[in-house]
Structure 1
Amino acid sequence: METLQKEFAQIVKENKDTIYTVCYMFSNDSEDINDLFQEVLINLWKGIGSFKSHSNVRTWIYRVALNTCISADRKKRKFSTIPLTMDVNIFEDKDEATFQVKKLHDRINKLQPFDRAIVLLWLENISYDEIGAIIGISTTNVASRLLRIKEKLKSMSND
């Protein structure tokens, strides 16, 4: 058991940025991102014993993280609430690069969860073959979906 815990800790240490990036793409709220991160860790822990190295660890982590975030997103949309927040963030950057990243993030958040997952993997420079393996679709399907997604993102208003 101790060896499994050490292995898990090492996997999380090596892949925490990947997990966080997936969570970030499914939420704008830091508390929600942290909740998603914890949920992903729980699901990784539950599945580590049955992970048989049929794919590489990174592919498995993406698959678990995306499935966790997509499921949480579906639940959230089903039972949507209006959060009480102050619309002031004194720590937010105001430069052009931050504005462009936020604009892209906002547009990606308007996509359906499956499309959001594909864009995230593409933005992470993952090959079409690996995206297909993570998502469970063919490489050709990845290419055609990405083309449609890019067109959809371009056509979104500048709101």
Structure 2
Amino acid sequence: MDDNQKLFSVMVQQNKTTIFTVCYMFSKDQEEVNDLFQEVVIRLWQGFDKYKGDSKERTWIYRVALNTCISFDRKKRRHNKKQVYTGDELFGCNERDTQQKEILHKRITQLCPLDRAIVLLWLEDISYEEIGSIIGITAKNVSVHLYRIREQLKNMSND
């Protein structure tokens, strides 16, 4: 294994949870999440030599993961396949917490891909500035998006 492969392997290992979190926000099926994870890793590897450190490593990983998942989501929506929710494996919580998380996840997946990405990054406790850098908008625009998203989530039904 050469040095580049070692550096890449360490980077993926350190950011595995982040990548899985992004993938999970775009799919409800565990196999699909695993496939998305692999696709993100492939795209990261393809761009690894070109990554120059202009942005933080984490920002670059989020950007690649989100772009990969958004592209996947668009293709999936065109095919309009029905999926089964398998969130119980991810949360080891009591029944009430699990139900609330299922409702939140269901509502978030109804958002457009950009809004879903913004919510995901916000839930990861990333600053508005970094979210803006990842998404390609200003920090003020992130704030406006989050306000509108919160209102939209509040007004969604539990169906």
Give the TM-score category using the shorter length: over 0.9
Q: Which residue of 1 aligns with 2:77?
A: 77
Residue 79 of structure 1: how far off its partner (Å): 1.8
1-side partners of 2:144 and 2:27: how far apart?
26
Residue 81 of structure 1: how far off its partner (Å): 2.9
- Counterparts in 2 of 1:2-151, with a 5 A limit? 2-82=2-82, 95-151=95-151
Q: Contact 2:60 / 2:134 at 8 angstroms: preserved in 1?
A: yes
Could you tell me the percent identity over the aligned residues? 57
TM-score normalized by the length of structure 1 = 0.92
Residue 69 of structure 1: how far off its partner (Å): 0.1
3-state SS of 1:111 partner: coil
2-side partners of 1:117 and 1:22: how far apart?
8
1-side partners of 2:121 and 2:87: how far apart?
29
| Structure 1 spans left out of the alignment, 5+ residues | none
2-side partners of 1:31 and 1:155: how far apart?
31
Residue 51 of structure 1: how far off its partner (Å): 0.1
1-side partners of 2:114 and 2:131: how far apart?
12
Residue 80 of structure 1: how far off its partner (Å): 2.0
Offset from partner CA, 1:100-150 (integer Å, 9 cap, x none): 111110000000000000000000000000000000001110000000000
Residue 89 of structure 1: how far off its partner (Å): 10
TM-score normalized by the length of structure 2 = 0.92
Amino acid at match of 1:25: M
| Structure 2 spans left out of the alignment, 5+ residues | none
RMSD: 2.1
1-side partners of 2:138 and 2:29: how far apart?
33
Relative to structure 1, the CA distance from residue 131 to residue 97 in structure 2 (aligned partners, 3 Å threshold; closer, same or farther) is same
Relative to structure 1, the CA distance from residue 2 to residue 144 in structure 2 (aligned partners, 3 Å threshold; closer, same or farther) is same
3-state SS of 2:15 partner: helix
2-side partners of 1:70 and 1:89: how far apart?
20
Amino acid at match of 1:22: V
Q: Contact 2:88 / 2:98 at 8 angstroms: preserved in 1?
A: no
